[in-house]
């Protein structure tokens, strides 16, 4: 029989690969479409509330997009989008909402505290940790640049 190394090589050679082009195109189109919806929400908000600041507009847009992501997850549609779109629906903020709501739904059978509350951040947790950590790093860099100036 083949040796262990020969087998690992054989597996590398024979294993079916992802269809790169079709997945890239799907991710680009769906990701782009989600961003377009975000832009539309932002534009409509600016139109309705002309006095709103840039900061308020972006906050409002994020909130609406998070709601849409959470809602579509709740009614069982977002995972079907994700099956085709891949990173296209994971990267936008709607994907973040999906990663928080889906474990919360999944683990509700284990109770409110140890199910929903504990498991809510099993997937989003690392994103938050790395976000906070890297923002501290960037803050330090800004501070040093300020000192040099």
Partner 1 sequence: MNYGEQTIRFLNKPRVVSGYSIVGPKEAAGPLDPYFHKRIRKDDFGQKSFEKAECKLHMSAISGAIIEAGLTPKDIDVNIGGDLLNQIITSSFSARELDVPFIGMYSACSTFGQALIVGASLIDGGYVSYAACSTSSHFSTAERQYRYPLELGTQMTPTSQWTVTGSGCTLLGKTGGKVFVESATIGKVIDFGISDANNMGAAMAPAAAKTVSQHLKDTGRSADYYDYIVTGDLGIYGSKLFLKLLESEGINAAGVHKDCGQMIFDKKQRCPQGGSGAGCSSVVFNSYFMHHLKVGAIKKMLLVPTGALLSKVSSLQGETIPGIANAISFEREEDV
In this complex, which beta carbon is closest to partner 1, that of residue 42 or of residue 89? 89
d(CA 149, CA 140): 14
Closer residue to partner 1 (CB): 42 or 73: 73
Residue 27 and residue 92 in contact, taking contact as beta carbons nearer than 8 Å? no
Which member of 24, 105, 116, 118 binds partner 1 (CB under 8 A)? Answer: 105
User: Considering the rule CB under 8 A, would residue 83 count as an interface residue with partner 1?
Assistant: yes
At closest approach, how far in Å is the CB of 51 from partner 1?
37
Q: Are 73 and 82 in contact (CB under 8 A)?
A: no
Judged by CB, which is closer to partner 1: 114, or 142?
114
Site for partner 1 (CB under 8 A): how many residues? 37
Supply 22's token pair: 């079709």
Mention every residue, 6+ apart, whose C-beta is less than 8 A from residue 121: 100, 103, 128
User: In degrees to the nearest 10, what's the CA dihedral of 69, 74, 75, 80?
Assistant: 60
| Binding site residues, partner 1, CB under 8 A | 1-2, 4-5, 7-8, 10-11, 14-18, 23, 73, 76, 78-83, 85-86, 89-90, 95, 98-99, 101-103, 105-107, 109, 123
């Amino acid at each position: 029989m083949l040796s262990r190394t020969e087998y690992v090589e054989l597996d590398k050679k024979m294993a079916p690969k992802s269809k790169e082009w079709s997945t890239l195109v799907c991710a680009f189109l769906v990701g782009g479409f989600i961003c377009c919806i975000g832009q539309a929400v932002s534009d409509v908000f600016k139109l309705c509330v002309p006095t709103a600041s840039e900061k308020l507009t972006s906050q409002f847009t994020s909130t609406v997009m998070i709601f849409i992501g959470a809602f579509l997850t709740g009614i069982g549609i977002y995972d079907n989008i994700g099956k085709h779109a891949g990173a296209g629906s994971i990267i936008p903020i709607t994907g973040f909402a999906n990663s928080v709501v889906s474990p919360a739904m999944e683990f509700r059978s284990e109770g409110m505290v140890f199910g929903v509350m504990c498991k809510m951040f099993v997937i989003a947790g690392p994103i938050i940790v790395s976000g906070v950590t890297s923002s501290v790093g960037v803050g330090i860099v800004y501070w040093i640049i300020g000192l040099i100036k």
